[in-house]
Structure 1
Amino acid sequence: MPLSPLRFRLLVTSLLVVSFLGALDNTVVSTAIATVAGQLGALEHMSWIVVGYMLASTVLLPVLGKLGDRIGPRAVFLSSVTVFILASVACGFAGGIVWLIVARVIQGMSSAGLQLMSQTIIAETTTPRQRPKYLAIIGAAFPIAILIGPVLGGIITDTWGWPWVFWINAPVGIVALALAVVAVPHIAPGRRGRFDIAGAVALTIGLVALVLAVTWVGDPALAGGTISAFAVAAVAIVAFFVIELRVDEPLVQLSHFTDRTVAAGTAISAIVGIGLFSITSYLPTYFQMAYRTSATVSGLVPIATVFGMLVSNLATGWLVSRTGHYRIYPLVGTMLGAAGLGVMALLPAGAPLWAPTVAMAVVGLGTGAFMSLIVAVVQSAVPREETGTMTATVNLVRQVGATVATALIGGIIGTSVAMLLPGGLDAATLTPAIVHAQDVAIQRQVADVYQSVFVPIFFGLAATYLVGVVASILLPNIRLSDDPGPLRDATESVPA
């Protein structure tokens, strides 16, 4: 039975609040990490506050996606929100770093269900043609969280203390949970059968080992552990594919990738993580070093990028829901992304700051054009009883791509800068403040070093978007319909 207009509005509001809560948590916490670790006397373990959360939220995606199909997305969603609230409260009461890391792992496990089940519930309660608009609304939570999260985290930490960075999730989460209990409908589960435990274990081991390996790859002291982690990841992932081809109810239905929409759409989704998310965190340092700006000014470029992403995400969602035509948006979006990053690589040292700001805003506009849209397209190409599984797969590819690319870019920057720095400067302790205190000649040398290091990175990321252009061309010429069934051919009429 269709939801009433009022109940559907309550549903979208609840899903938006929950998605925003999950997206905001990581960006708010990022500002307070150094304070938290310092007050707990564990600065050397600071990174695990983030890594633990990231690992848990990544590896649980396929498991929760399958559970959503098996027992219904409502149960998984409400459970995830409840656990997220309780884990947030536990984080605030942490008296030691071990307690905090464990609580953050649990929080990360539940956060995987927030965005994933929000997307799945939208898919289950809308037609393919309606989905892009509502997925874009929910997807807007991520860029908004990037824009306001770090500032909000700093204000909360300085005003109320770091525990409130976590505790603030409780009242907001309770309101969202109350709305969800009323608004989220009971959705019939899909096919039942034996849960793919072997596949879940193999994939979990493989992803954990892979994330750890790429996280450690730039640390010479962990060279042995890095090699071992890569070896474990390779064996576990091969085992996972073998298992998935043999079991009756696989965790990831590999046969769906013979469908052009699924294969091309998943590849395009990976572009978001590899091509943009991976470089965003390094942009402020690049501009502080290469353009010799202050920390405040260097933040303007990521803001322009994210704002462009937000605008085009909402605009394309609305346009696709109006017409049903979608292929032009990932095609133009990937072209814009490639062009913007190509310009970044070609900009000369000493160019005015507005030039890279405009270039990265174009990258954001291009990426936003398909960021949420491609999830709706892939969802519409699979049977409804496998919506959660395929939504999880699309998100997993994007998240793993971002994690691996971020680590690789970090390793390239660290190694290359250390090799090229002028004598007297130590790459291990180099900060923008130290560089800005040097004479003009040294500042120019450092700027040239960072410029030369980032040029091939920008070219490489532009090439990634060009792969997305090819994938967009390979998308079938089909049109999203107002029927709850599969995609129909573009020659058929679609209800207005």
Structure 2
Amino acid sequence: MSDTALYFLSRGETDAKGSTTDTKVDTAELPHETVDYASSDEYCLTTTRFFLVFIAFSVSFSLIALDQTILSTALATVASDFSAVSDITWIASAYFLPQAGLMLFFGRLLSISRPKAIFVVSILLFEAGSLICAVSPSADVLIFGRAFAGVGAAGLWICIMSVFARVSTLKQRPLLLGAMGAIYAVCTVAGPIIGGALTDKATWRWCFWINLPCGGVAVVLVLLFLPNLPPAERGTSMREQWKRLDYIGAILSIAFVTTLLIPLQWGGNVKPWNDPAVIALLVVSVILIAIFAAWEYRQGSQAILPLSMVVSRNMPGACIEGFLLNLCFVIANYYLPLFYQVKGQSPTHSGIDILPFMLSGVIASFVCGGLVAATGHVWPSLFGPTLLGSVAGGLLFTVSSTTSTATLIGYQILLGVGLGCAIQNTTVVAQAQYAASPHLVSQATSLVTFMQLLGSSLSLAISSAIFSGRLTAKLNAISPPLPQAVKDAVRESVSSVFTLPDTLRLPVMGAYVAAVDGVFLIIVGGAACASLTALLLISRSKVTVGLALSA
């Protein structure tokens, strides 16, 4: 039996003599069985080495998360420096597109390669992209650098999660993934604050310069203290496996992600939804998804997305819940600060105002990770807290410009706890299901992460369309009618609200708050659906640590 094996034991069956015997269950399904994770010490690290590797991974993961949001408060300055207002969307999305498009490919690559080598190459790509951004003389070069860094970020993300599965037991993993979830939450919220401060006090280029020394520290720690783990999939030469890599699948993945996300970002913002370019790209994306699915079916075990994962009981549930939770998280992370800005706070201060949401999510992530590790039950953290998140979204829908600070803090805490408890445990489910097949762990992890990134990317496309529509409707409903110039200015920037005379400012503020409130309804539905999706998962299974068993 493999050194790293997951046994699914039934509660016991009584034979003809009345004795109870344990029965092994197919590893593809985990409906109601006890999950016993057996891990050898072959790749376990000493406490000191594990701590140093964890520091390296934490630093790397922080850089990935920071780069997702650090430019959000600096984009106006960047666009002004390069006279490239029309390129703002590309500057923001260039980092996400290769991440989502290459996530599945890196998952497959990690199953046939040494993780240490993939980590080093990925962080060097990320650092090279950061350097290109820092010295970029034009918007085009900046966009290229962001895309280059996004390739490295995809490899780093999957590598970190997959290595944790190799050097830790299943009991330790909820704590580790909870820590990564906490780091992600902190950094995505802190990104705009740090980016704004660097832009105000120095230059936006420091948003990228800071990556270089931090990434250098991570590389050194990994080279010194991470074991050179062998590929999870063995049996044929590495050269042969590299020849058989699903390169066409990777190209199709990048293509359908790009043609899907770009029109969703354009629609209702850069271009109207009925624009021919938006419609054409959406149609092309559907065609490419169909071609991708057919190709992956043909590739079989060599596919970057084995279709057996798609039809298994647990993976669809983990993927859909991961998608929905990240969609809710990004919407809250974006529109809670906007709500505070409508009330008159600066962009930097509005980031501070959502600290209750961030801190409660961080604490909940750690606490739930500890509870899963202590009790072995992961399903409750994926079902109950998400219902709480749905309730919190409903409460946020009721807020107004006069809602007290204490009430807003309470609602934020409820939402942070609801999302924080569950958001990383979808990865635990994926890694638990395939722990008996180590060569599939990285691909299972990449599939869940891909869906999480897709949820993050689609969240703003969906929410901005709803926000823009509601804001326009509310502004049009104000009596007496507002001048068109005022409507255009208000839709362009929330700061223009405070340049209006008192007779106009209050109704316009009310329209803005009502538009933001409408977006919170997405969280109500998304979190509720995430809770229902948990019913597809491991319902009453228990994850426990056992001794390594031999065949």
The question of a shared fold, defined as TM-score above 0.5 by the shorter chain, is answered with: yes
Query: 1:130–1:482: 8 Å Cα contact kept in structure 2?
Result: no
State which of 199, 206, 209 in structure 2 corresponds to 1:164: 206
Give deviations 1:304-342, integer Å, cap 9, x for gaps: 211111111111112212221221112221011011001
What secondary structure, in the 3-state scheme, does the structure 2 residue paired with 1:220 have? Answer: coil
Q: Which amino acid aligns with 2:141?
A: W
Identity value in percent: 24
Q: Does 1:428 align with 2:481?
A: no
Q: In structure 2, do the counterparts of structure 1 residues 485 and 242 end up closer, same or farther at CA, with 3 Å as the change threshold?
A: farther
Query: Where does residue 11 of structure 2 map in the other structure?
Result: none
Query: Where does residue 361 of structure 1 map in the other structure?
Result: 413
Query: Where does residue 444 of structure 1 map in the other structure?
Result: 506
Query: 2:112–2:232: 8 Å Cα contact kept in structure 1?
Result: yes
Greater shift in the superposed pair: 208-217 or 179-188: 179-188
Count, aligned residues: 485
Q: Does 1:282 align with 2:335?
A: yes
Q: In structure 2, do the counterparts of structure 1 residues 263 and 484 end up closer, same or farther at CA, with 3 Å as the change threshold?
A: farther
Q: Which amino acid aligns with 1:389?
A: Q
Greater shift in the superposed pair: 470-479 or 175-184: 470-479
State which of 319, 341, 345 in structure 1 corresponds to 2:397: 345
Q: In structure 2, do the counterparts of structure 1 residues 484 and 205 end up closer, same or farther at CA, with 3 Å as the change threshold?
A: farther
What secondary structure, in the 3-state scheme, does the structure 2 residue paired with 1:480 have? Answer: strand
Q: Does 1:144 align with 2:206?
A: no
Q: By how many angstroms is 1:292 displaced? A: 5.2
For 2:151 and 2:417, the matched residues in 1 are separated by: 31
Query: 1:300–1:357: 8 Å Cα contact kept in structure 2?
Result: no
Query: 1:128–1:484: 8 Å Cα contact kept in structure 2?
Result: no
State which of 121, 128, 133 in structure 2 corresponds to 1:79: 121
Query: 2:128–2:148: 8 Å Cα contact kept in structure 1?
Result: no
What secondary structure, in the 3-state scheme, does the structure 1 residue paired with 2:367 have? Answer: helix
Give deviations 1:430-452, integer Å, cap 9, x for gaps: 13332223344423322332344
Q: In structure 2, do the counterparts of structure 1 residues 348 and 34 end up closer, same or farther at CA, with 3 Å as the change threshold?
A: closer
Q: Does 1:233 align with 2:296?
A: no
What secondary structure, in the 3-state scheme, does the structure 1 residue paired with 2:544 have? Answer: coil
Q: By how many angstroms is 1:40 displaced? A: 2.6
Query: 1:264–1:472: 8 Å Cα contact kept in structure 2?
Result: yes
What secondary structure, in the 3-state scheme, does the structure 2 residue paired with 1:481 have? Answer: strand
State which of 62, 74, 90 in structure 2 corresponds to 1:48: 90
Give deviations 1:41-89, integer Å, cap 9, x for gaps: 3233223211111112221111111111121322211111111112211
For 2:346 and 2:47, the matched residues in 1 are separated by: 49
Query: 2:69–2:192: 8 Å Cα contact kept in structure 1?
Result: yes
Query: Where does residue 29 of structure 2 map in the other structure?
Result: none
Q: Which amino acid aligns with 2:449?
A: N
Give deviations 1:250-290, integer Å, cap 9, x for gaps: 1112212333322222222112222221342122223433x
Query: 2:91–2:143: 8 Å Cα contact kept in structure 1?
Result: yes
Please give the residue correspondences for 1:132-211 in structure 2 after superposition, counting only pairs within 5 Å.
Answer: 132-191=174-233, 193=241, 194-211=244-261
Q: By how many angstroms is 1:155 displaced? A: 3.0
Query: 1:418–1:426: 8 Å Cα contact kept in structure 2?
Result: no
Gaps of 5+ in 2: 1-41
Query: 2:162–2:442: 8 Å Cα contact kept in structure 1?
Result: yes
For 2:510 and 2:196, the matched residues in 1 are separated by: 32
Q: Which amino acid aligns with 2:505?
A: Q
Greater shift in the superposed pair: 306-315 or 70-79: 70-79
Greater shift in the superposed pair: 133-142 or 201-210: 133-142
Q: In structure 2, do the counterparts of structure 1 residues 485 and 85 end up closer, same or farther at CA, with 3 Å as the change threshold?
A: farther
Q: In structure 2, do the counterparts of structure 1 residues 353 and 156 end up closer, same or farther at CA, with 3 Å as the change threshold?
A: same
Please identify the structure whose Cα radius of gyration is greater.
2
Q: By how many angstroms is 1:105 displaced? A: 0.7
**CA RMSD, Structure 1 to Structure 2 (Å):** 2.2
Q: Does 1:411 align with 2:465?
A: yes
Q: By how many angstroms is 1:234 displaced? A: 0.3
1 or 2, which has the higher helix percentage? 1
Query: 2:430–2:441: 8 Å Cα contact kept in structure 1?
Result: no
Query: Where does residue 491 of structure 1 map in the other structure?
Result: none
Q: Which amino acid aligns with 2:452?
A: R
For 2:328 and 2:65, the matched residues in 1 are separated by: 19
TM norm structure 2: 0.83
Give deviations 1:343-401, integer Å, cap 9, x for gaps: 11234563223323321221111111011222122111012111111111111111112
Determine which structure has greater relative contact order: mean sequence separation of CA pairs < 8 Å that are 6+ residues apart, divided by chain length.
Answer: 2
Q: Does 1:33 align with 2:79?
A: no
Q: Which amino acid aligns with 2:388?
A: L
